[in-house]
Chain A
Amino acid sequence: MNELWFDIMGAIVTVIVAFVVGITYMGLSRKITARVQNRKGPPFYQNFIDALKLASKTSAIHHGFMQHVGPAFMMITSIMSVLIIPVLRGNAWFVNLNFHGDLIFILYIMVFGPLGMALGAGQTGNPNSAIGVTRGLSQMVGFEIPWVMALVALMMQYHTTSIVDLMNVQIQSGMWLMFSSPFAFIAAVMAMLGMFRYSPFDIVGAPQELASGPMSENGGKYLFTLMSSGSIFAFAKLTLYVDLFMGGAGNLVELVIKTFALYLIPMLYGVTSPRYRTEQSIRWFWGWPTFFGFLAIIYAVVF
């Protein structure tokens, strides 16, 4: 029984860390964007305040059960991925479900929440939500291709689908996978641009076009849950990249540095780009990123 409590406590700690780090990154991204635009920008903890404000909203409306549970679905994805993805190497508090699922499981659990959330968005009856969802799903088909190609290349090369094993490979060989499988890393990073939905791939939310798309009918506690889930999810994805390509992290500081370095890529790319149309975005992902994905697979086969 003690073990179970320990597991639960560990999970809670992991989630809290993920939430804090993730939401800070989002605030930092606002700050950095502002600096790029020659503004002072909000404080880096601005997103905390926003989340707190949303949580302290006293009223909320929903259009039906699916919208009500949509954020809960979203949370499943975020928390499950952060629990399965190894956050820190060899730290008992952060083991959680690391050995219960593998990369394929991660790929699919990552879709669970967005799909549930999309159902919630669909139930609102707001056309903007549905349009946003279709854009999001279409774009997902776009960026998953290079992303999976990169993963397949890694899995083929090291004969494992377990993230822990891939991490250990890097420790043993002393070389990060981003150097030993460079093409996979390039493809994966390009796919990451879509995954984080910054410009030019922010076609889902697209506040000026779609009134924030799927979230347009969510306010108050629903938006709060979605926002927290988004930050946890962002952290989970970054950690996954760090685990796969940068040899994981031994302590939190290392993790934060590595993840933030990765996080800068989509953010800075986004700050300087206008928005794509959906099909342009899809085709972009099926262009160079997929080419690099092919290279990665060929590389994996040859070496």
Chain B
Amino acid sequence: MNYIILVVFLGGALLTFFAGKINNVLQDILFLASILVPASLFFAYVHAGNIFNLTLGGIHLSLGINAMSWLFALIVLGLGSMAAFYSVSFMKGKERRGYFYFNFILTIMAMTGILMSRDLVSFFIFWEIMTWSSYLMTVYNGKDVQTVGIKYFVFSAIGAYAMLMAIVVIHSINGSFMIEDLVRSFPEMPVNMQILIPVLLLTGFGVKAAIMPLHVWAPGAYSNAPMAYTSIFSGALSKMGIYGMVIVMVSLLSYVPEGYWFREVIAWMGGITAVIGTLWAIKQDDAKKLLAYSSIAQLGYIIVGIGIGTPLAMMAGLFLAVVHALFKGTLFLAVGAIERQTGTSNFREVTGLIRKMPWTFVASLISIISLAGIPPMGGFVGKWMLYESLLTSNHYLLVIVIFFSSTAAFLYCYKFLFGFFLGQEEKEWANVKEAPVLMVVPMLILSFFSFLLGTYPGIILKPIDAGMQYLGYGITQNHLWQTSVIFNTWGNQVVLQPLLYSIIAIFLFFLIFLTIKSFKQTRYVTTKDISSSGEVPKEHENLTFSVDFMQPFMRAVEPVMRRQIDKYYTGLANGLEALFDFMRKIYTGNGQTYAIYVIVFVVILLLFKDILF
């Protein structure tokens, strides 16, 4: 069954691609079918037991699923299906539909393949398919392909090649590509290999997870891809990096003494990533860029959780991974809907959409609250567990760093909601309609789950627990969670259900109070009817405050923002290109020079013959 799913994906991708030549509706149907059919096959028939073996090119490949990858498959296929529904509506009347659908399905296939891989070669193959299909989506708009697209692919390639190097090194030691064999033999490896292999693998996974010095591709790539895709790009694809990191951090590094330093370094890198991502997100004026940086920051939290590696921290990291897929997926979809309806995603241009696109607003609101980690949404549970795990594992400063980042996150959360939905309602956007049903419903479903997980985290903590047991956390971590209660290792608890009821009760009470109190004399006035020194704003006057929105804060953190890691990379790239240009000049185009090279070559060989041979 394992390989049938992949084949169905692949066949579906090709069929969808060519169906576009016949009929658009057929193409849409085929597209949905080729996501949903394998997804349902997956959940119906794939269990931890069934393994499919194959020998290709003399290499033993093996596909199968385990409790940990099942959890991630849930993210990939769940979010993938939602984004697929959304895409059908999103892509209506756009160019290159076949291209989009093809790469979309291929990415989902590759991610499923990664999760199924039990050996490193098929892991790498699917990893690279994922990379180039996502690259093709990054350049879908044809915008900045030579800068953003190349940057993405170069970083992905650096990561992938680091991983490839690790894979061949592992093979040279083990004589086997199987992940099980790696896990089994890792503790016995020589110390330099115990350091080299995790470093290389973590570089590979870190690129996709946008960990700090390797994150520079993310803002451009996330914002350039079509939003229907970016939601899985950020929601699911980046989780593949997390998945890999989980395996490395837990299955390999928890058994060797060097693991401690790896854990600390990775956790700190995650923390710094979170801070940098947040600060840059605050600065952005484009919603896509903002969410992209925010994704980097959120992935930073997840990495912190995985880096710390205590049961509670791991649980927090994985829970945050699930919740991040839910809320960031929704937010990117919401931006896509707004961009489709208005034609722009810039906060400076769009304002006051709340009455035009109420459902998009509701979905965004729930997701933003979840993102900010405010109860009673799912994000809170993840953040809570993360803080508690940091506290209980004595990471005094890291918890401050994370807290700073997560507090500063409120700034961009507010900016996102304010920029699009609030502020003055403009005549320019008076005719904007709510996005089509097929786009709104997936967003609402996803945001409903972020809400649900805020009160009943047990729904998802159960598979997480199962996955952690598979990874070797031993017995179930039942002392840390119940369906609606979360504990820390000191025994302190948060009982979510009564808290939710209290919140709802208070909210309803005051909502009713505000509504019925002097009901008849309460009236709605337009946003033009504001108290601005007695002035009546003209139709064309937009009083919304959207330029330099967080300027005071930016001024306060300006010393940090002055250093951009991107600049160093650009400098490095330019320097290299200049060097290459210089080296290119060795080929002068002059025959005599070439002849001299030949003579010099011979002379040098003759001179150094004793050394060389």
B-binding residues in A (CB < 8 A): 11, 55, 57-66, 68-69, 71-73, 75-76, 79-80, 83, 97, 99-102, 104-105, 108-109, 111-112, 115, 118-119, 122-128, 130-131, 133-135, 137-138, 140-142, 144-145, 148-149, 152, 155-156, 159-162, 165, 211, 216-217, 220-222, 225, 277-279, 282-283, 286, 293, 297, 300-301
Interface segment out of the listed B100-108, B264-272, B417-425, B441-449: B417-425
Give chain A nearest CB distance to B9 CB in angstroms.
Answer: 40
**Known: A115-B372, A220-B518. Is A131-B499 also a contact (CB below 8 A)?**
no
User: Which residues between 247 and 284 of chain B lie within 8 Å of chain A, taking CB atoms?
Assistant: none
Q: Which of B365, B369, B527 has the most CB of A within 10 A?
A: B527
Contact (Cβ within 8 A) B423 A130 = yes
Give chain B nearest CB distance to A51 CB in angstroms.
Answer: 13
Contact of B518 among A97, A165, A221 (CB under 8 A): A221
| Distance of A130 Cα from B548 Cα, bound (Å) | 12
Would you call B494 an interface residue if the criterion is a C-beta within 8 Å of the partner chain's C-beta atoms? yes
Would you call B380 an interface residue if the criterion is a C-beta within 8 Å of the partner chain's C-beta atoms? yes
Given A60-B521, A64-B355, A100-B494, 8 more A-B residue pairs with CB atoms under 8 Å apart are: A62-B524, A64-B524, A80-B499, A100-B495, A130-B545, A160-B490, A277-B552, A283-B556
Contact (Cβ within 8 A) B488 A161 = yes
Give chain B nearest CB distance to A287 CB in angstroms.
Answer: 11
Contact (Cβ within 8 A) A76 B488 = no
Would you call B3 an interface residue if the criterion is a C-beta within 8 Å of the partner chain's C-beta atoms? no
Would you call B493 an interface residue if the criterion is a C-beta within 8 Å of the partner chain's C-beta atoms? yes
Q: Which of A83, A124, A216 has the most CB of B within 10 A?
A: A124
Interface segment out of the listed B29-37, B461-469, B505-513: B505-513
| Distance of A159 Cα from B454 Cα, bound (Å) | 25
Contact of A80 among B502, B530, B550 (CB under 8 A): B502
Contact of B400 among A145, A160, A217 (CB under 8 A): A145
With a CB–CB cut-off of 8 A, which chain B residues contact A127?
532, 543-545
Contact (Cβ within 8 A) A301 B556 = no
Give chain A nearest CB distance to B409 CB in angstroms.
Answer: 9
Give chain A nearest CB distance to B399 CB in angstroms.
Answer: 6
Contact (Cβ within 8 A) B414 A217 = no
With a CB–CB cut-off of 8 A, which chain A residues contact B492?
102, 160-162, 165
Q: A-facing mask of B76-120, CB < 8 A → 1, else 0?
A: 000000000000000000000000000000000000000000000
Contact (Cβ within 8 A) B394 A156 = yes
Q: Can you pick out 29 interface pairs between chain A and chain B where the beta carbons lie within 8 Å of each other?
A: A58-B521, A59-B521, A61-B522, A61-B523, A69-B514, A72-B506, A97-B502, A102-B493, A112-B374, A115-B369, A115-B374, A115-B410, A122-B418, A122-B422, A126-B531, A126-B532, A133-B418, A134-B550, A137-B550, A138-B553, A141-B407, A141-B410, A149-B400, A156-B394, A161-B388, A161-B490, A161-B492, A165-B492, A286-B556
Contact (Cβ within 8 A) A217 B531 = yes
Give chain B nearest CB distance to A283 CB in angstroms.
Answer: 6
With a CB–CB cut-off of 8 A, which chain A residues contact B507?
69, 72-73, 75-76
Contact of A59 among B493, B495, B515, B518 (CB under 8 A): B518
Contact of A278 among B355, B380, B553 (CB under 8 A): B553
Which B residue's beta carbon lies closest to that of A78? Answer: B506
Contact (Cβ within 8 A) B383 A279 = no
With a CB–CB cut-off of 8 A, which chain A residues contact B355?
64
Would you call B373 an interface residue if the criterion is a C-beta within 8 Å of the partner chain's C-beta atoms? yes
Give chain B nearest CB distance to A9 CB in angstroms.
Answer: 14
Cβ-closest 5 pairs across A and B: A125-B527, A278-B552, A122-B422, A72-B510, A138-B553
With a CB–CB cut-off of 8 A, which chain B residues contact A161?
388, 391, 488, 490, 492
| Distance of A58 Cα from B523 Cα, bound (Å) | 12
Give chain A nearest CB distance to B463 CB in angstroms.
Answer: 24
| Distance of A58 Cα from B391 Cα, bound (Å) | 51
Would you call B206 an interface residue if the criterion is a C-beta within 8 Å of the partner chain's C-beta atoms? no
Q: A-facing mask of B346-372, CB < 8 A → 1, else 0?
A: 000000101100000000010001001
Contact (Cβ within 8 A) B494 A102 = yes
Contact (Cβ within 8 A) B425 A104 = no
Which B residue's beta carbon lies closest to that of A96? Answer: B502
| Distance of A225 Cα from B601 Cα, bound (Å) | 88
Contact (Cβ within 8 A) A61 B518 = no
Q: Which of B355, B411, B551, B552 has the most CB of A within 10 A?
A: B552
With a CB–CB cut-off of 8 A, which chain A residues contact B506?
72, 75-76, 79-80
Contact of A134 among B354, B383, B408, B552 (CB under 8 A): B552
Q: Which of B372, B421, B422, B527 has the most CB of A within 10 A?
A: B422
Which B residue's beta carbon lies closest to that of A120? Answer: B422
Contact (Cβ within 8 A) A100 B498 = yes
Contact (Cβ within 8 A) B553 A134 = yes
Contact of A152 among B399, B523, B530 (CB under 8 A): B399
Give chain B nearest CB distance to A195 CB in angstroms.
Answer: 13
With a CB–CB cut-off of 8 A, which chain A residues contact B553?
134, 137-138, 141, 278-279, 282
Contact (Cβ within 8 A) B499 A101 = yes
Would you call B470 an interface residue if the criterion is a C-beta within 8 Å of the partner chain's C-beta atoms? no
With a CB–CB cut-off of 8 A, which chain B residues contact A286?
556
Contact of B556 among A58, A59, A102, A278 (CB under 8 A): A278
Contact of B498 among A73, A97, A145 (CB under 8 A): A97
Would you call B579 an interface residue if the criterion is a C-beta within 8 Å of the partner chain's C-beta atoms? no
Q: A-facing mask of B550-564, CB < 8 A → 1, else 0?
A: 111101100000000
Contact of A125 among B407, B543, B549 (CB under 8 A): B543
Give chain A nearest CB distance to B112 CB in angstroms.
Answer: 35
| Distance of A77 Cα from B571 Cα, bound (Å) | 48
With a CB–CB cut-off of 8 A, which chain B residues contact A156?
391, 394, 396
